[in-house]
Amino acid sequence: MLPALLMVGPASAGHITLQIDTTSTVRDDQLQSRVTLTNQGDESAANIQVHVELQGKRDSSPIQASLGVQRSYARAFSRPIAGLSEGRHPLVVIIDYTDTNGYPLTALSFAEFIVGADNPPRIHGVIKGIELGREAELELRVKNLDSTPRALKLRLILPKEISSSQAEYQIALGASSEHTVSLPVRNFSALEGSRYQILVLVEYDEQSKHSSLVVPGIVKIVGATDLFRTYRVPLAIGVGILILLFVGLQFHFRFRKPSGH
């Protein structure tokens, strides 16, 4: 069971906080999944629809009209997985819903499941949390934990409120090496003060077995005021330098000796 806690809405106003718990098991070439939502915020969610996505194919639940505070909602899914490689695979969970004003929102989570024998990933990844105003660079660091070079496929999973000009990447990760990937993101419709979970799926194949790593990260949506606070020190230094240059030029032109004729 892999829970995720997503908070959407300014901290000073009402907010919706969804806890997402997902369980997945493989039985007779079928992936059986169950997604449970619990609203731990102080505002009801509306028009809830649960989606599970595997290798680009999506299954969706009927729309649930409302999910009150401290109430739960669960949906079960089943999908054939015949033909999937042996090893570890990711399942993406996407929740579409609206607040009480009808504003559309998204929450993300994930689960992992095993086909045949497990093939745990021999890589490690981390996403540095960022503050997103209009545009930003999301930094993903990946590390190869052993002496086998690997060809990695990366896929960036974003809520619909956040966009990216490039969502898929391929990188060659050398033996016992590290690599940093900058992922461009921009704010499409996210509300200031909200926090969104984003995911990067990292997958590779070796010796006919599949392995995957899901790297979660948090994006905080900020406004101009927050950005000023973040960069107030370098801004203050820059303003100070400009003032010194202006004063220096004033003294230079005031006290310089006139040239002779």
pLDDT of residue 258: 55
Pairing label, strands 178-187, 168-173? unpaired
The pLDDT value recorded for residue 3 is 42
Which of 133-156 are b and which e, b meaning 16 or more Cβ less than 10 Å from the residue's Cβ? eeebebebebebeeeeebebebeb
Q: Among residues 149, 143, 147, 148, which one has the least CA distance to residue 202?
A: 143
Q: Where are the domains of the chain?
A: 4-221, 222-252
Please list the residues that pair with 48 across neighbouring strands: 64
Q: Which residues of 74-109 are buried (b: 16+ CB within 10 A; e: fewer)?
A: ebebebeeeebeebbbbbbbbbbbebeeeeebbbbb
pLDDT at 241: 73
- Ramachandran category for residue 2: left, alpha or beta (phi over 0 → left; psi -120 to 50 → alpha): beta
> Token pair 């400009």 is at which residue?
242
The structure tokens listed for 140 are: 């993903």
Q: The pTM is what? A: 0.80
User: Quick one: fold of 4-221?
Assistant: Immunoglobulin-like (2.60.40)
Mean pLDDT by 10 residues, the chain (261 residues): 46 74 94 96 95 94 96 96 94 95 93 96 95 96 96 97 95 96 95 93 95 97 62 61 68 58 45
pLDDT (0 to 100) of residue 240:
65
- pLDDT score recorded for residue 243: 72
Nearest to 221 by CA among 46, 7, 13, 5: 7
State both tokens at 59: 């299954």
What is the H or E stretch that residue 243 is in?
A: helix 232-255
Distance CA 117, CA 76 (A): 24
Evaluate the CA torsion angle 79, 84, 86, 91 in order and state its sign.
negative
